[in-house]
Structure 1
Amino acid sequence: MAQADIGGAIIEAGVLDLLYRERAKALSAREWKFRLMGYGYAIKDVQGAQVVTRLPQGVELGVLPAEFA
């Protein structure tokens, strides 16, 4: 499967806010990723960067900011 070039993609403010809130509630990165699946989002690693995708199609929304690492 080919990877899209998402270098300049910006994640919507509402989605980014959801990611922040759920990360604050989760005790680990694994739990955070599991919680995001319930909202229809996933995090995948692409060429060393974490990319937010929309499930179930896997549409790439953008690269996570550095503060999530």
Structure 2
Amino acid sequence: MAHADIGGAVIDAPVLDLLKRERTKALSAREWKFRLAGYGYGIKDVAGAQVVTKLPQGTELGVLPTQFH
């Protein structure tokens, strides 16, 4: 899987694979975000874009590719 490189922030392929795998298992976006929190990741809305963060610090990893929305 390719990296998401938007605005200089890169989301690593293993993280994108995890996001994709968990999205297919979840019935809703809310459940998906809950499942990601169990792995130490979060998603927040910033200026109309969804940004993947590392919990609990809230370190931004990069913008979520549009196929996940």
State if a TM-score over 0.5 links the two structures. Answer: yes
Aligned-residue identity in percent: 80
Partner of 2:42: 42
1:26 aligns with 2:18: no
CA distance in 2, matches of 1:13, 1:68: 14
List, as ranges, runs of 4+ consecutive aligned residues in structure 1 with deviation greater than 3 Å: none
CA distance in 2, matches of 1:67, 1:8: 19
Report the number of matched residues.
64
**Unaligned stretches of 5+ residues in structure 2:** 1-5
Q: Deviations over 1:31-54 (max 9, x none)?
A: 000000000000000011000000
CA distance in 1, matches of 2:61, 2:17: 14
CA distance in 1, matches of 2:61, 2:23: 18
CA distance in 1, matches of 2:25, 2:49: 23
TM-score (norm 2): 0.89
More strand by share: 2
TM-score (norm 1): 0.89
3-state SS, counterpart of residue 10 of structure 1: strand
Cα RMSD over matched residues? 1.0
